[in-house]
Amino acid sequence: MASIRKRGNKFQAQVRRAGFQGKSKSFERLTEAKAWARSQEIYFDRGEAGNQKPDDMPLASILSRYLLEITPTKKSASGESRRIKRLLKDEIARQTLRKLTPAKLAAFRDRRVKDGVRTAAYDLQVIRHALNIARAEWGVSIQSNPVEAIRLPRPPKPRERRLRPCEYELLLFHAESSRSHFLKPLIIIAVETGMRLGELLSLTWGDIDIDAGIAVLKDTKNGESRAVPLSLAALDTLKALPVAQTSLFGTNYHAVKSAWQRLRKRSGIHNLRIHDLRHEAISRFFEKGLTLPEVTMLSGHKTKAQALRYAHSDFTNIKRKLSE
């Protein structure tokens, strides 16, 4: 960290970071001292400060540089940025490379699993990749990656929560009176199209062709654009939205999450996540008789096997027909 002290008529800036030798310099002006201190902190974050002692370098130094240089190049940059900032506050980030043993990472894993299996797995994947990048591209001497010596948590089975009788109507009824005006149209479009929440929130009016009845998704999870046909219910909902705002729903993830939690409480509905609306939509596609290739095209799944798990209700109908 940086500190600035006034000594006589000058300002002395000092920058210290575990794993590096500290640096100090004096300046006539406070602004110059602050600018120099900040520049040195950036060098430390990037591992470019010299006199580096790899074994004594904390994991935080590698994660900080990874956050600056690698994370912004990823499609999931915002989510990963939040994850790394949380990691930097965790005690694991203060461990030096010498002390970052598989045993300590296993203890970290077991602690993080309490917040969710996927959370623990994603954290470890970020740490593993950051260490690999540091070794391969930044010249940090790491003999072996300790993350690769431990078991990664197994993700739970995919959820198969569908809307129960009257739940859809209940959600729409209470969303109608919600102060979050985006909520009702968001729910309808989600169930009618099967879009992911991130895809819905990224939609602008420029992505919608009302006459052709399609929405063009440019910012998808798998990185590929796709066109989504819009049902009559989806089109009617879109036509009722205000066109003054650039984005369709004029909101963000955190506002949607808070509004959804309030809506679920008012509706008396339990264990229903907003992502479950996508599961409901894709299941309905199969029930309407769409083929597997058609559903895959609509949902944006990369493989047919991924979409196939939503076809459970269709298999029930097939078994019923075979028994007739």
Catalytic residues: 196, 221, 275, 278, 301, 310
| E strands, the chain, in order | 2-7, 10-15, 23-27, 208-209, 214-217, 226-229
Taking a C-beta distance cutoff of 8 angstroms, is the pair 151, 102 a contact? no
Q: Which residues contact 83 (CB under 8 A, 6 or more apart)?
A: 122, 123, 126
Distance, CA of 43 to CA of 62 (rounded, Å): 12
Q: Is 67 helix (H, G, I), strand (E, B) or coil?
A: helix
Q: Encoding tokens for residue 115?
A: 């917040």
Residue 277 half-sphere exposure toward CB, CA atoms < 13 A:
24
Amino acid at 74: K
User: b/e string for 145-174 if b means 16 or more Cβ within 10 A?
Assistant: bbbeebeebeeeeeeeebbeeebeebbbeb
- Around Cβ 135, how many Cβ atoms within 10 Å? 17
User: b/e string for 212-245 if b means 16 or more Cβ within 10 A?
Assistant: eebbebeebeeeeebebebeeebbebbeebeeee
